[in-house]
Amino acid sequence: MDFTAIDFETATSSFTSACSLGWCVVRDNEIVERKEILIRPEPFEFNKNNIRIHGIKPEMVEDKPTFDQYWDVLRPDIENRVVIAHNASFDIRVLCSTLRMYGIEPPEFRYLCTVKLSQKAYPELESHKLNKLCDALGIRFHHHRAYDDAYACAMALLRMADDYSLENFSEIEECFDMKCGEIYPGIDLTPKSKRRAKTKGEKNK
């Protein structure tokens, strides 16, 4: 299988506040690259609780490039590939929201959530959080470090595929009755409930 595992850490609760990204490139079921970048978020704001979780402080990123300056490095590992993440709805939204903030359309790619996948693969586990899942699978890593979280996510998917003798994403989709999500230029990631509320509000104007 070929895919890219990603993990974002954010400075605040905003989807556009990425301060770190780790990604892990897998080709033919082998990890061939592991990368991590520190990002200066815009606006330059940090939440104490976020700092407590990932340990990234403002002074560590104040001189780093903003996300748009990294995009040419990241794009080849995202575009036209399958992207996986643990709680993919968060990481994919951070990616697309941040790109949109800089006026960059997201490229085409498919994505899959390893939280949802692991819930189907190992329903007996009490928790499917990344650290608990990896403890159960014997995968060692440093939690809440983007570099390690992306690696752990990649290893977890490879392990699930091996445990169920699955060779590609078509077989994964069929085995677990899951469909990869799709991202493409112009996609609207606003939740349907908010879209309806916005439409009603516009009609009342």
pLDDT (tens digit, 9 = 90+) per residue, 50-69? 999 999 999 999 999 999 99
Q: In whole angstroms, give the CA distance from residue 164 to residue 21.
A: 30
- Cβ neighbours around 162 below 10 Å, total: 11
Check pLDDT > 90 for residue 203: no
Q: Is the pLDDT of residue 137 over 90?
A: yes
Q: In which band, very low, low, confident or very high, does the pLDDT at 142 lie, cut at 50, 70 and 90?
A: confident
**How many domains in the chain?**
1
* pLDDT surpasses 70 at 133: yes
pLDDT at position 119 over 90: yes
For residue 167, what pLDDT is reported?
Answer: 96
pLDDT reported for residue 13: 95
Residue range of the domain that includes 198: 3-203
pLDDT tier at 144 (50, 70, 90 boundaries)? Answer: confident
Buried-exposed string 88-103: b where 16+ CB fall within 10 A, e elsewhere: bebbbbbbbbbbebee
Look at residue 166 and tell me whether its pLDDT is greater than 50. Answer: yes
Whole-number pLDDT of residue 32: 97
pLDDT for the residue numbered 193: 53
CATH number at residue 169: 3.30.420.10
**Predicted local distance difference test score (pLDDT) of residue 189:** 78
CA 42/CA 52 separation, integer angstroms: 20
- Angle separating helix axes 88-101 and 67-74, nearest 10 degrees: 110
Give the pLDDT band of residue 147 (cuts 50, 70, 90).
confident
Q: What is the pLDDT of residue 192?
A: 59
Q: Average pLDDT, stretch 30-36?
A: 96
Segment 7-30 shows an average pLDDT of 97
Tokens matching residue 49: 């609780």
